[in-house]
Chain A
C-alpha cells in the first residue's frame, strides 16, 4: 500500500498535458473529462432552471402575463429535455468518470479517447437544443415526451431536437460501453464483483440499461424524422400508422430512463450513509440484488405511463401489478439504508443531510408513484399537477439531492479542499424548505384537477400556484449558493486531508491523497 501511495504522490511529475484550453479539448484523462461533464451538467441545470423560473413566473397568478402560450409550451418542453438529458444524466456520467476508476483501483477509463468524444458531443447537442428557440417557429413545444401528432407537425425546432437526442443518445451509449468495459476489465487484483462499492455496482447496471434502451429512443426519433420528412406513416393513423405506437416505444425507453436517473443516485447514497453512520452498508448483497431486480422490472412496466391512451383491461392490470411489484426491491433499499443508520455513530455533515433528505423525500415520491400506478386513480390524476409533483419528488429530491450529496462528499478528493460546512448546511435546509414549498402543494393542485402544461388556469388554483412559484424562485436562488460554495471551495477552501470522513472505506479515500493525482493507480492496489 505504501508503494502505491508513494507512486501516487510522484505522479505529479508525469502530468504531461497541454495547458490552457487545449488541455480540455484534447484530454483523455478521466478526471478532466469528469470535471467537464460536471460543469456542463451544472450549466445545463442553470439553463433548465431558468426555463423553470419562466414557467413558474407565468403561473404565479392566473392570466397570461409574461410568456405567450406558444413560448410557454416551448419552455416546458425544453425544461424537461434539458434537465433529463442535459443536466441529470451527464452529471451522473461525470460522477462515474471521476469515481469509477478511483473506486476500483484502475488508472483511467478503458477507452480514454472515446471518453473524450462522448463528452464533446454533449455541447454540440446542447447548442442544437438551446438554439432551437431562435429558429422560425421556435423550439419543440409538444412536451418532453414529444408525442405525435404535435411532434410531427412542429417546425424546424423539432428537427433540431431530434438531432440533439440522437447525439445525446450516441454519447450515452459510448459512455456506457466505456463504463461497462472499465468495471469488468480494470478492477484491482482482489476486487471481485461482490467487493465493488455500491456506486460502481449501480453504475454497472445502469450502463447495461442505457445500452439496452438508448437505441430504442434513437429508433423512435428516427421514425419521427422519417414521418416528418420522408413520407412514412409510422405514427400517422391516416397513413396506416398509429400515434399510440410512438407512446409504447417511447416509454419502453422512458421508464428504464427513470431508473437510469435514479440507480446511480442510490449508489451515491449507499456510499455516504455508511460513511457517516460509521457502519458497513446493511445488506450489501441485498442492495446489489435489489438494484439488478429493479433494472429488470423497469423494462416491463412502461405502459403505466399510458393507461388513458387506450388499452385492454388485461393490459392495464398487467402493468398496474408489475408497477406495484417494483416497489418491493425499492423498499428493500430504503429499509437497508435505515438499518445502516440504526445504532450507528451518526454525524450530520452536508452530504449526510442531503442523503437523509433524499431518503425521506424519495420515499414520498415513490409512494405517490405507487398511487399513480393504480389504474382508476391514474385515470383521474393523469396529466395533472399530481404527476408533476410525483416525478419532481423522484427526480429533484431523488436524483438531484443525491448529486448534491455526492458533490459535497467527493469535492475534498477532487479539489483537495474542504467546502464551507455552514454554507453547505444552509444550502441543504433552504433546498429542503423551498423544494417542498414548490412541489408539495402541487399534489393538492393535481388532486383538485389542474392540468399540466397550461400557461393559464382557473381562479380556484391561484393560491397554491402562488405558493409554488415563491418556492420555485427560492429553490432556484438557493442553487446559486451551491455554485458559490463550490467555487469558493475550489479556489480558497481549507486544505483537505487524505480522508476527511473518518468512516470512509473505499479506495479513493484509503489509497489516494487529496486532491487525487492526475493519474490515480498506475500500479493497481491489492484489495484484501
Chain B
C-alpha cells in the first residue's frame, strides 16, 4: 500500500513536470537547471504527447477567450 502510494505520487509528479516543461516551451523560456532536470526525468515520447495535449488545451483556451469576448 505504502509502495503503491509512493509510485502514484511519483506518477503525479511526472505529469506535473511534463505539463510544466510544455507550458514553458509554449512561452519559449526555460531555466538551465530546470532543463537539466527535465532531461534527466522526462523521455522524448512523454514530451511529445504532452506537447500535443498542450496544443489542444491551448486551442481550447483561445476558443474560450473568444467565446467570452463575443458573449
Contact = CB atoms under 8 A, between A and B. Distances in A.
Q: Do A and B bind each other?
A: yes
A303 to B, nearest CB: 13
A155 B25 CA distance: 47
Contacts of B26: 293, 296-297, 329
Given A289-B30, A328-B28, A333-B28, A314 B66 contact: yes
B70 A313 contact: yes
Q: How big is the B interface, by class? A: 20 to 34
A321 interface: yes
A329 B51 CA distance: 15
Given A317-B69, A321-B65, A193 B28 contact: no
B35 A296 contact: no
A296 B51 contact: yes
A328 B58 CA distance: 14
Contact of A286 (B29, B51, B55, B67): B29
B29 A332 contact: yes
Interface string A446-483: 00000000000000000000000000000000000000
A287 B27 CA distance: 10
A285 interface: yes
A422 B26 CA distance: 42
Given A194-B39, A317-B69, A317-B70, A285 B27 contact: no
Nearest to A194: B39
Contacts of A293: 25-28
B32 interface: yes
A346 interface: no
Contacts of A318: 62-63, 66
B16 interface: no
A67 B67 CA distance: 49
B28 A321 contact: no
Contact of A314 (B35, B55, B67): B67
A304 to B, nearest CB: 13
A285 B35 contact: yes
A368 B69 CA distance: 25
Contact of B29 (A289, A292, A297, A299): A289
Nearest to A312: B70
A322 interface: yes
B28 A332 contact: yes
A290 interface: yes
Q: Tell which of A289, A294, A317 has the most Cβ of chain B within 10 Å.
A: A289
Nearest to B66: A317
B45 interface: no
Contacts of B32: 285
A507 B39 CA distance: 22
A283 interface: yes
Contacts of B62: 318, 321-322, 325
B59 to A, nearest CB: 6
Contacts of B25: 289-290, 292-293
A193 B39 CA distance: 9
B44 A193 contact: yes
Contacts of A131: none
A318 B66 CA distance: 6
A65 interface: no
Given A313-B70, A314-B67, A321-B62, A194 B28 contact: no
A292 B24 contact: no
A73 to B, nearest CB: 37
Contacts of A292: 25, 51
Interface in A262-309: 283, 285-287, 289-290, 292-294, 296-297, 299-300
B16 to A, nearest CB: 17
A192 interface: yes
Nearest to A314: B66
A296 B70 contact: no
Q: Tell which of A192, A293, A296, A329 has the most Cβ of chain B within 10 Å.
A: A293
Interface string A153-195: 0000000000000000000000000000000000000001110
Contacts of A289: 24-25, 27-30
6 cross-chain pairs, A with B, having the tightest CB-CB distances, nearest first: A290-B28, A329-B28, A332-B28, A289-B25, A285-B35, A317-B66
Interface of A: 192-194, 283, 285-287, 289-290, 292-294, 296-297, 299-300, 313-314, 317-318, 321-322, 325, 328-329, 332-333
13 contacts: A192-B39, A285-B35, A289-B27, A292-B25, A296-B51, A300-B59, A313-B70, A314-B66, A317-B69, A318-B62, A321-B65, A328-B28, A332-B27
Interface of B: 24-30, 32, 35, 39, 44, 51, 54-55, 58-59, 62-63, 65-67, 69-70
